[in-house]
Amino acid sequence: MSLLVVGSVAYDGIETPFGKTDRILGGSATYISLASSFFAENINLVGVVGKDFADEDIELLKSKNIDLEGLQIDSSGNTFFWKGKYHHDLNNRDTLDTQLNVFEHFDPIIPEGYKDAQYVALGNIEPSLQEKVLDQVNNPDLVVMDTMNFWIEGTPDALKQTLKGVDLLVINDSEARELANEPNLFTSADKIREMGPDSLIIKKGEHGALLFTGDEIFSAPAYPVIDIFDPTGAGDTFMGGLLGWISYTNDLSPVNMRRAVIMGSVMASFCVEKFGPERLKSLNEEEVFTRYKEFRDLSVIPEIK
């Protein structure tokens, strides 16, 4: 099964209460691809990097069997750079610097060989660029999209247009309320699903996630992560784990979507244990499936006899 991933490929400067790094590989497409590569085989990445992009980072992506034909290398400038700082409450971060660099003129050109992708992951980029991707692909089975407040507030019309072509939207709770202009999360979900996406996942940070699909609502628990070090990329990693699992199993049934939400949560819970995508590089099967089981055990509700 093939998975097309479009989004940012970046270098990040990150400061958390536990440490600081001036430059580490980041970007939404990077996290989605690395997380999905744990399960999925044919991952095709579309993005842009600049002349400063390191060979070792290209090698890292290749070593995870991520196809880079769609990764444009623009030698006219540097790679997108983002710098953020987290405070004591790791749910809040300040963006200290955003240098668009080559990302400013990014035109997502989908190589011929990627156009029949079964699964499409639209990482968090400008909605009109996400729409451009949808215009180029041939009837995928599932289009999953992420977005953020910046686009909900800044380009609401383009966002709503793009949403019409999306099957599953993944956003956090404050974004859902803002997009629907509605304080109640469940009413928000109904309104958002009327905008286009058949299914919806609302992430609630350290409090788990809600999946709305068909007539079902699934409430996924949050894993009690003790070793939280750096939350950067957790949202993208969630989407990568989710889509990696769906792509690997090729099963869109509601029960498998539930598994996928947990796999997304498993991968995100590992991601935050180290700086940037470090932890995703070294994960093994036993760790992933053990944590999946821990997630299950967290929310088993005993029957009343």
CA distance readout (Å), 228 to 171, 207, 254, 269, 286: 21, 14, 30, 8, 20
CA distance 276 to 232: 6
Residue with smaller CB distance to ligand AMP, 2 or 201: 201
- Per DSSP, the three-state class of 93 is strand
Could you say which of 28, 247, 265, 269 contacts ligand AMP (CB under 6 A)? 28
Could you say which of 4, 6, 16, 26 contacts ligand AMP (CB under 6 A)? 26
Of residues 245-264, those binding ligand AMP (CB under 6 A): none
Residue with smaller CB distance to ligand AMP, 27 or 140: 27
Q: Which of 37, 74, 27 is nearest to 247 (CA)?
A: 37
Q: Which of 63, 55, 76, 11 is nearest to 34 (CA)?
A: 63
Could you say which of 8, 16, 37, 147 contacts ligand AMP (CB under 6 A)? 8
**Residue 108, interface with ligand AMP (CB under 6 A)?**
no
Amino acid at 63: S
Of residues 219-238, those binding ligand AMP (CB under 6 A): 232-236
- Cβ contacts of 153 within 8 Å, gap of 6 or more: 178
Residue with smaller CB distance to ligand AMP, 2 or 132: 132
Q: Which residue is nearest to ligand AMP (CB)?
A: 26
- Shortest distance, position 238 Cβ to ligand AMP, whole Å: 8
Angle at 26 between CA 197 and CA 81, to 5 degrees: 105
Number of Cβ atoms within 10 Å of the Cβ of 243: 30
- Shortest distance, position 98 Cβ to ligand AMP, whole Å: 6
Residue with smaller CB distance to ligand AMP, 67 or 236: 236
Residue with smaller CB distance to ligand AMP, 100 or 288: 100
Helix, strand, coil shares, percent, the chain, to 5: 40, 25, 35
Could you say which of 16, 79, 101, 124 contacts ligand AMP (CB under 6 A)? 124
Please say whether the dihedral angle defined by the alpha carbons of residues 247, 248, 252 and 258, taken in this order, is positive or negative.
negative
Residue with smaller CB distance to ligand AMP, 26 or 140: 26
Residue with smaller CB distance to ligand AMP, 165 or 264: 264
Q: Which residues bind ligand AMP (CB under 6 A)?
A: 8, 10, 12, 26-28, 82, 98, 124-125, 232-236
